[in-house]
Structure 1
Amino acid sequence: MEFRGLTGGIYRLTEWIMRLSGTNLLWVLCSAPFLFILYLRLAIDPQYVNEALTLNWALGILAPVTLFPATSALFTVVRKWVMGDPDVKIMRTFFRGYKENYKQSLVGGLFYTVLFVVMYVDITVYMVQFPNLQLFGILMLILMILLFVSLFNFFSMVAHYHMKIGGILKNAILLTLLRPFRVFSTLIGAIAILYIGWQMPVLYVICAVSVMAWFAFFNFYATFLKMQEQAKKREEAQNSDEESELIELGKEKKEK
């Protein structure tokens, strides 16, 4: 019995690793142009300023077109896992999510990319060229971190809701501000995964991004369920108050 249980556990673990690896590989393939330019940007010597600037522009152009749709598709798959459907067909679900959410991912990617570029330039200017205004640079850095954290909610909402892009962007940022504990626990988990991946880069290809997406959607879905429960309680309380008012009105009418 113990041997059979151990064998079953190993089989389930192997199955999950295969799922994570398969989804991660699809994400890498669909994000390949962005990832290739990112690799060149990280590898380039800092003295080649013009080349670095050109690569920065290429990253800004490729991110909304490739990275954002691929990540939305990744979240479409992990959403199924978190919601209790581990046997979902990975390739079909991934590319369906890629196709259905492409427009929203593209527009959202343009929005985030422009904001990141503006904030990056502001931080560089304030921190390097105007030392007396470094406080503004620090403030802008904090805003950039908040914007980055809201990306987890953005991708989760794109995968989970049928909502216009304006509503998704607004609610992704609001949820980041209103529910900071869950979101920043996701950030800490993401930093830990990135650090482990930095030590073993092969994990980025095998499973690191899929694990990060799963953890991010898990936290998002827990927040979603909690908010749904609170809304249900408020609705029940409101209905109870209305029933009490009707009872009181009934009493008053009877007395008259």
Structure 2
Amino acid sequence: MEFRGVMGGLYRISEWIMRLSVINLLWLICSIPVFFFAFMGLVSPSPDALKSMLPILAILAPFTLFPATSAMFAVARKWVTGEEDVPLLKTFFRSYKENYLQSMVGGIFFVIIFVVIAVNYFFYLKQGSSLRVLAILFIAFTVIIIISLFNFFSIMVHLHMKIFQILKNSILITIGNPINSIVLLICNGVILYICLTKFNFFLVVFFMGSIMATFSFWQFNRSFTKLQTKQQALEEKEQQRLAEAEAVAEAEKEQSDSDNGDEPIEISLHKKDENEKNKE
């Protein structure tokens, strides 16, 4: 039975609330170790508790948080590409299994990059004023890597590539599309800020991750579709140019054949010679 009007709108809204909340809960459940230690660090009265938890979080994230996030992006991809009624549990856990290895390797890569950036940032921050400027440069690197992380998950669930190609393309897309990258960063930052400051527990548990994943893949798919359209237009122009060049070459060849009257005689004599040899 299909509802229309106000009831139809309310039904669709409730359906999307259910979808987003289910996927967000699955994401949290599959990432329990990471969120548990992060929560313990945040609620601890010690000011250095969260810092002491960072090494544990860095070790656990590639094996729990990254595979769960890739599965959440895979479901978001289905929604964005028009498959809204996919089975949520089946799609999530199948994608979790299929993308586990690539997401784990990618997680290790990004964790190492973040550690290197953090070490260099705090090192240069303690130096003199001339070297302290380099700390700002590492902040810029952090922003690029964070945006690349969203593109990494979108590419992994959308395209068949090897892990190093995914990592390379995620960084190239981030740098090559600065406007889209800035929009992606600002919008996800706003979502994160609202979820952490307004109704923080409710939104974090039920909506934060799934909304960010859906928006991130929508933004990526929009840019990717435009890139495909441009590439297809260039290929069509190239094919048209080659076809015109072949047509010109064929016309020149026909003109050359018509001007040269000896060429058909050579072909005839050649065939005749072959027949005479066969008779002998």
TM range (shorter): over 0.9
Cα offset for 1:115?
0.5
What's the CA shift for 1:186? 1.3
Task: Say which is worse superposed, 121-130 or 59-68, in terms of deviation.
Answer: 121-130
1:239 aligns with 2:223: no
Show CA shifts across 1:119-140 (max 9, x none). 0111111113544411110001
2:70 pairs with one of 69, 72, 88 = 72
How many Å apart are 1:40 and its aligned residue? 2.1
Instruction: Give 2:26's aligned residue.
Output: 26
Structure 2 alignment gaps of length 5 or more = 257-280
Q: How does 1:185-224 map to 2 (within 5 A)?
A: 185-198=183-196, 199-201=198-200, 202-224=202-224
Which residue identity is paired with 1:174? L
Q: Residues of 1 paired with 2:77 and 2:161: CA distance?
A: 16
Residue 39 of structure 1: CA displacement? 1.6
CA deviation vs aligned residue, 1:96-135 (integer Å, no higher than 9, x gap) = 1100000000000000000001101111111135444111
CA shift, 1:184, in A, is 1.9
2:225 corresponds to which residue? 225
User: What is the CA distance between 1:224 and its match in structure 2?
Assistant: 1.2
The alpha-carbon distance between structure 1 residues 131 and 33, as it changes in their structure 2 partners (threshold 3 A), is farther
2:110 equivalent in structure 1: 112
- Counting aligned pairs with the same residue, the percent is 44
Q: Aligned with 1:162: secondary structure?
A: coil
Q: How many residues align?
A: 252
Deviations 1:203-236 (A, max 9, x none): 0111121011000000101111111111111111
1:60 to 58, 61, 75: 58
Between 51-60 and 236-245, the greater mean CA deviation after superposition? 51-60
Structure 1 or 2, whichever has the larger Rg, is 2
The offset of 1:46, in angstroms, is: 5.7
Q: Deviations over 1:190-210 (max 9, x none)?
A: 111111112221201111210
Paired with 2:152 and 2:4, the residues of 1 have a C-alpha distance of 42
Measured on the aligned residues, the alpha-carbon RMSD in Å equals: 1.5
Structure 1 residue 53, shift from structure 2 partner? 4.6
1:149 is aligned to 147
Please give the alpha-carbon distance, in whole angstroms, between the structure 2 residues aligned to 1:42 and 1:126: 27
1:24-71: CA deviations, max 9, x gaps?
A: 0000101111011112223345654xx555411101101101110000
* Structure 1 length-normalised TM: 0.94
